[in-house]
A and B are shown apart, each in its own frame.
Chain A
Amino acid sequence: MNRYEKAAAAAVALMVLAAGAIFLFAPTDALQGPVQRIFYLHVSSAIAAYGCFAVVLLGGAIYLRSENLAADRLARAGAVVGLVFTTVCLVMGMLWAKPIWGAFWTWDARLTSTLVLWIIYAGYLLVRRLAEPGRQAARFAAVVGIFGFVDVPVVHFSVTWWRTVHPGPVIVNDALPPEMLATFLFTMACTLALAAVMIAIRYRLETLADGPVPEPAKVVAAVGSRDAEPVR
């Protein structure tokens, strides 16, 4: 096993432990019953997604400043992994909403802004695919990543004066019993570790896909010609 396989195995093992904590250790919610156990992974994956998109923002900003290729690869990796966690968060939220709110979806501030987040970063990946690979794709995607990250709190707060059914933060408000809080914190730590491992593996894949760094002499030659292979 190489170190990526070891890290992946460790992350999976941590998630299995988290599942054990969620189903065996955490108490059943008095009002909602077993469906409340969705909470642990739902909130953890939302936090992991925010972290991934912060990586996209940072990577994009560093790339625009210094054309650092590693920063661009990191941003690419963060976008893919962040989109996965946003999807997990949305799907689990819908499964939870159906029995509790009676519908899979409501046009609530939190739900709407999360859906917009998903659409923005799906667009980010489309830009990467459709722009000319190399400098153009990296620059355009960095701009989309920065605007996307700015837009999400803006959308979120612009709709907060609407009535909201999504519960507010329960962690910082100290509203959880200690067993639930411990389960949540453990699940969140495991999920963040999983996200970090996924980003690392994705980063490695992007590095391999980019191929070897061109020799300095080739870079100069390629800059001079429009038809040259894009310099990565």
Chain B
Amino acid sequence: MSSTIAIALAVARKDLRAEWRTRELVPALAQFVVLALVIANFGFQIDARNAPTIAPGVLWMALVFAGLVAFGRTFAAEREQSSLEAMLMTPASPVAIFAGKALGATLLLVGCEAVLLPALTLFFGTPLSFPIIATVLLATIGMAALGCLFAAMVARVRARELLLPLLTLPLWIPFIVAGGQAVQVAMGASGTYDQALALLIDFDILFVVLTSLAARFVLDE
């Protein structure tokens, strides 16, 4: 068990170091989410009055599509270098390698969220409070587990850019339902925040367990 964690951390560290040296993904994602806010502004005619009702939707749209790009890239570099096969030939368990990849991708997406949330506050005037940050981080865990699983799958498939959103988005809907409600409440809508957050944690546990069971079949292939 401890070796599994050590391997996962090593893989995650490798991915983060590669990102630190190239500085490709996080700046691109940061630009992407700011652009999403700009487009939302023109799409919705945002003013001070309607901003709090529109902002949660814009937040999740930007996050979901940034997540698709981030997780799609997770296995792209490995595929281009054929280095995933090399990693899988080591005695390390595929689940540990997958966990490391997922952890690395999660942290990169968190980096993107560190731009998205302040930008949302800046441009939409919504609060940047602890409940909102907690919701987004909790949703990121489950979304990353699912996103990385399907990114690993489509990396070996034709038309992968096409297939990743089609497979991932429907399975992310529970996180958007619960997370969307929690953020709406945190931004002033009526409803119960605790219930939505508890549901989000349930989904995290369910999908992290399922993903770790399924990862072997996807990576082994």
Contacts and interface: CB of A to CB of B under 8 A. Distances in A.
Given A130-B157, A158-B177, A158-B178, A119 B163 contact: no
B166 A123 contact: yes
Contact of B203 (A122, A144, A154, A161): A154
B221 A158 contact: no
B122 interface: no
Contact of A131 (B146, B156, B171, B178): B156
A125 to B, nearest CB: 11
B133 interface: no
A143 B169 CA distance: 15
A135 B210 CA distance: 21
Contact of B221 (A127, A136, A144, A151): A136
Interface in B102-157: 146, 149, 153, 156-157
Contacts, number: 76
B206 interface: yes
Contacts of B91: none
Tell which of B170, B171, B218 has the most Cβ of chain A within 10 Å.
B170
B166 A158 contact: no
Contacts of A14: none
Interface in A108-143: 116, 119-120, 122-123, 126-127, 130-132, 135-136, 139-140, 142-143
A154 B205 CA distance: 13
Contact of B156 (A132, A154, A155): A132
A46 B166 CA distance: 23
A159 interface: yes
A150 B166 CA distance: 17
Interface residues of A, number: 28
Given A142-B217, A158-B174, A131 B206 contact: no
A231 to B, nearest CB: 13
Contacts of B210: 146-147, 150
Contacts of B18: none
A122 B217 CA distance: 21
Contacts of A146: 210, 214
B199 interface: yes
Contacts of A159: 177
Contacts of B158: 130-131
A227 to B, nearest CB: 15
Contacts of A136: 156, 221
A143 B171 contact: no
Contacts of A126: 163, 166
A119 B146 CA distance: 16
Nearest to A136: B221
Given A64-B217, A136-B221, A158-B199, A151 B171 contact: yes
Interface string B161-191: 0110011011101100110000000000000
Contacts of B177: 155, 158-159
B197 to A, nearest CB: 13
A127 B162 CA distance: 11
A140 B178 contact: no
A142 B217 CA distance: 9
Contact of B174 (A64, A120, A151): A151
A201 B218 CA distance: 30
Contacts of B169: 119
Contact of A130 (B149, B159, B170, B206): B159
Tell which of B146, B195, B214 has the most Cβ of chain A within 10 Å.
B214
A101 B159 CA distance: 40
11 contacts: A116-B170, A120-B171, A127-B157, A127-B167, A130-B159, A130-B162, A139-B217, A139-B221, A140-B221, A151-B170, A155-B174
Given A127-B167, A150-B210, 13 more contacts: A64-B217, A116-B170, A126-B166, A127-B157, A130-B163, A139-B220, A140-B218, A143-B149, A143-B217, A151-B171, A151-B174, A158-B174, A158-B203
Interface of A: 64, 116, 119-120, 122-123, 126-127, 130-132, 135-136, 139-140, 142-144, 146-148, 150-151, 154-155, 158-159, 161
